[in-house]
Amino acid sequence: MISSLNETLTTTTNEARSAAELYAENPTAANGHQALATLYQRTTLTHDLLIADEKGIVLTVYPNNIYGAIGKNLSSYPPKKEDFSDQDVYISEFMQLENGMDAYLLSVPININGEYAGYISLSFDPYRLFGEEQQKVAEDGYNLWVMQADGVQVYDPDVSEFGVNVLTDPNFEVTRDTAALVSANPSGETSYVYTADTGTGDVVKNTIWNTLTFGGQTWKVVLTKSTPV
């Protein structure tokens, strides 16, 4: 699963780099729009796309439903020039965008004549990234959930748990020790007893996890499988 997720993110990043190179050859709004349109068609993660200059001013977007973003100053949002100082891809923290969407931003720098000239940024829903992996393991009886190292859960088949901090939320007390163990260790195995709300009795949640790191972002990828007590 880690390998599959890494491959998806790598493919998306490589396509974004190609779009940045295409734009850099002819840095006009029209060419930028075409570069973004091509990137949108070649990636499965992408929701919205934009090109911003070195000051964070939006130059062009795709698709046109976010046309109103052109000209906006996004310098208070990631990425910053320094985010690319030791890498050429940057993934933001999970955040709420100006359009209200909860998403991550994957960004690559644009370099023109060897100088930083801005970035291409694409937003993606973590459910689009991790949801396909859930489908793969569900037939074997596994359940997938994903959290950031800070405890914020960014994927669970139960969408009501989306965005919850499982390390601090009082409704997740039964899983807090497990979540803390997952957060503190790059990989491992454990189990805990869970009582279902449906009154179907206690089950043991056998749990295994590993860590996915990409673009400066870290996710704890967790699989659980229930067995009767």
Shared domain check, 116 and 34: yes
Half-sphere exposure of 124 (CA within 13 A, CB side): 22
pLDDT of residue 212: 97
Using a pLDDT cut of 90, give the percent of the chain over it: 69
* Number of independent structural domains in the chain: 2
Report the relative pairing of strands 217-228 and 202-214 from DSSP bridges.
antiparallel
Q: Domain containing 207: what range? A: 127-228
The domain boundary, picked from 66, 89, 124, lies at 124
The full 3-state SS of the chain, as one line of letters, equals: CHHHHHHHHHHHHHHHHHHHHHHHHCCCHHHHHHHHHHHHHHCCCCCEEEEECCCCEEEEEECHHHHHHCCCECCCCCCCHHHHCCCCCEECCCEECCCCCEEEEEEEEEEECCEEEEEEEEEECHHHHHHHHHHHHHCCCCEEEEEECCCEEEECCCHHHCCCECCCCHHHHHHHHHHHHHHHCCCEEEEEEEECCCCCCEEEEEEEEEEEEECCEEEEEEEEEEEEC
- Check whether 70 has a pLDDT greater than 60: yes
CA distance 31 to 142: 45
Closest Cα to residue 17, out of 140, 110, 139, 124?
110
pLDDT of residue 198: 56
The domain boundary, picked from 124, 154, 184, lies at 124
Shared domain check, 105 and 6: yes
Shared domain check, 154 and 119: no
Shared domain check, 165 and 65: no
Using a pLDDT cut of 70, give the percent of the chain over it: 98
Higher pLDDT, 202 or 42: 42
Tens of pLDDT, residues 140-198: 889 999 999 899 999 998 888 888 999 999 888 878 889 999 999 999 999 888 776 55
Shared domain check, 213 and 187: yes
Shared domain check, 170 and 110: no
The domain boundary, picked from 124, 145, 177, lies at 124
Shared domain check, 148 and 74: no
Tens of pLDDT, residues 14-62: 999 999 999 999 999 999 999 999 999 999 999 999 999 999 999 999 9
Shared domain check, 69 and 9: yes
Shared domain check, 131 and 76: no
CATH code of 67's domain: 3.30.450.20
pLDDT of residue 199: 58
